[in-house]
Chain A
Amino acid sequence: MFVLSIVLVVALWEMYKVVGPQDGGKLFGAGVLPRSNDTAMPHVWTMLSRYGRPEVRGSDKRVWLVVLEGAWFSFRLSIVGFLLGSSIGVGLSVLMSRFKIVERGLLPYLVVSQTVPLIALAPLVALWGGKLSIFGIEWPRWFSAAVLGAFLSFFPIAVGTLRGLASAPAAAVELMESYAASWKQILLKLRFPSAIPYMIPAFKLGASGSVVGVVVAEISTGLKGGIGRLIIEYAREATADPAKVFTAVFGAAALGLTMAGVIAISDVYLMRNRPKETTS
């Protein structure tokens, strides 16, 4: 299915190049149809072949290697951001499910936090890089990007886990209470296992959120080494070398897919013994 959908997208792209207006379509003076010339929409094969050619003239380094290295750099940052975000998210959801008053007080702020544009927040967090030290450990510049990744990933994880923890049936909670189980035992042996079907989609969202956060942070803070930086660098060359920027964009997309794939694998593993109709 996945391969088929890719073929379909490629076909649509190339078809639009054939039928679409070269200089864009205008409706009442506003540009509504994108330009279909080779600068705005390079052929798919031009983009693919661009991976095989050197990054800059006279260099031995091919684009695919540069993109791969950039993606690997961003991937590690995303993992750090994701781990950070999921610990914060799960921690908050446990707190909120334990104390109703925390849920009522905190949840609105969490929602508000997600309405702050990442672009506005990024320079602020980036400023901490190299200037802040916590317990004698200096805040490295790359950590700012990871923190912004965590900022985007913790929210869906907190909300999803909170719902999951609350999904344990009342009768099951009553059963645990009849065994005089402690709050912690109920959490570990009942609430978390029943939360897993809710947590997996939340973690998928969180994982792709951390990639977006890291890439946007790289772009807006100019952090070197990652795929975000490649996207702005290549975008500057877009008029002369339009296919190049797409190589970096695909790299970022592949990054997000890899993260989601990691979660999908853990989904299959965690749900292997559950009734089949509840697996997502």
Chain B
Amino acid sequence: MSAVQVTGVSKIFNQGTPKQVDALIDVNLTVEPGEFVSLIGPSGCGKSTLLRLIANLLEPTTGSVTVNSKSASQSRLDQDYGMAFQQAGLFDWRTVAKNIELPLELKGWDKDKRAARAQEMLELVKLPEFAELYPWQLSGGMQQRIAIARALAAHPPLLLMDEPFGALDEMTREYMQGELLRICAETSTTVVFVTHSIPEAVYLSNRVVVMSPRPGRITDLISVNLGAKRTEDTRGAADFFTGITAVREALRGTHADHANAGAIRGLEDR
């Protein structure tokens, strides 16, 4: 049973109009349970679109998406996945604990169970003493950790992340990458991770999916062999640089395309 199965998926926006955009053409991707897969590629390659198709926030034009062997829409209704975005997107009017409880509240959990789970998640992200603070009283890195706690609050088997560390400074970013790996190992969560950063993709992933724009498609699948346990030392390891070089070369091909295709932008951000 695969965690995510994307079969022959195309996504065309504004089909049949002059503004038609082929966001994704014939994409096939399988993610195994426990795997960490990054999607990387230049702007407009459809990596965010692919993530939203898996999340069932968009419907594919053709092809099918299954999550945990269920249809994408069923797994969304069952909350089989949690999601985190570049902006932490915490609600200003809720305390940190109440933010984490949000998905549980929507599922109809009772109050005590919610509070206990929120505390458990706060300990997981190492911020147990911040439960009663408000999000705007925390730093950007802390907010993003709360967002991850919220995404994982219902213990979903799958975590979908759209450039979650894109707005953080380099040091916080590296720290967060380490934290994310630790959290995912502790909770054995499968992750699909969209990023712009090559070192980030290599450091985090078991496999890096390289995508290219116009039309958006998968051009390469690169396996990263850094072993199960990655530490700060990994960032200096020879295998790490081998991985970076491999991804960079795969991306170089897509980038030439990108330059030739002209400067049409903006699809990525829809």
Contact = CB atoms under 8 A, between A and B. Distances in A.
Interface stretch (B98-106, B167-175, B203-211, B243-251): B98-106
Interface string B60-90: 0000000000000000111101110101010
Contact of B106 (A172, A174, A181): A181
Interface in A165-216: 169, 171-172, 174-181, 185, 189-190, 193, 196
B50 interface: no
Contacts of A185: 106
Nearest to B150: A175
Contacts of A169: 87, 89
B93 A178 contact: no
Q: Which secondary structure dominates where chain A touches chain B?
A: helix
B39 interface: no
A177 B105 CA distance: 14
A104 interface: no
Contacts of A174: 57, 85
A189 B91 CA distance: 9
B72 to A, nearest CB: 11
B109 interface: no
A193 B57 contact: no
B79 A193 contact: no
Given A171-B85, A189-B102, A178 B57 contact: yes
Interface in B81-126: 81-83, 85, 87, 89, 91-93, 95, 102-103, 105-107
Nearest to B95: A273
B57 A190 contact: no
B93 A274 contact: yes
Contacts, number: 52
Interface string A140-164: 0000000000000000000000000
Contacts of B81: 178
B200 to A, nearest CB: 21
Contact of B87 (A171, A189, A193, A278): A171
Contacts of A136: none
B181 to A, nearest CB: 23
A274 B95 CA distance: 10
Nearest to B83: A178
A190 to B, nearest CB: 7
A193 B91 contact: yes
A275 interface: yes
Given A171-B85, A273-B134, A275-B136, A178 B91 contact: no
A179 B91 contact: no
Interface residues of B, number: 24
Contacts of A171: 85, 87, 89
B93 A180 contact: no
Interface string A243-256: 00000000000000
Contact of B102 (A177, A179, A196, A274): A179
Contacts of A176: 106
Interface in B37-57: 55, 57
Given A177-B57, A178-B76, A189-B105, A172 B134 contact: no
Contacts of B79: 179-180
Q: Which of B57, B77, B106 has the most chain A CB atoms inside 10 A of its CB?
A: B106
Given A174-B57, A180-B76, A185-B106, A274 B83 contact: no
A175 B89 contact: yes
B89 A179 contact: no
A208 to B, nearest CB: 26
A115 B68 CA distance: 58
B74 to A, nearest CB: 10
Contacts of A193: 91, 93
A180 B89 contact: no
18 contacts: A169-B89, A171-B85, A172-B91, A177-B57, A178-B81, A178-B160, A179-B79, A179-B102, A179-B106, A180-B78, A181-B106, A196-B93, A273-B93, A273-B95, A274-B92, A274-B134, A275-B92, A275-B134
Interface of B: 55, 57, 76-79, 81-83, 85, 87, 89, 91-93, 95, 102-103, 105-107, 134, 136, 160
Given A180-B78, A273-B134, 7 more contacts: A172-B91, A178-B83, A178-B160, A179-B106, A189-B105, A190-B91, A274-B93
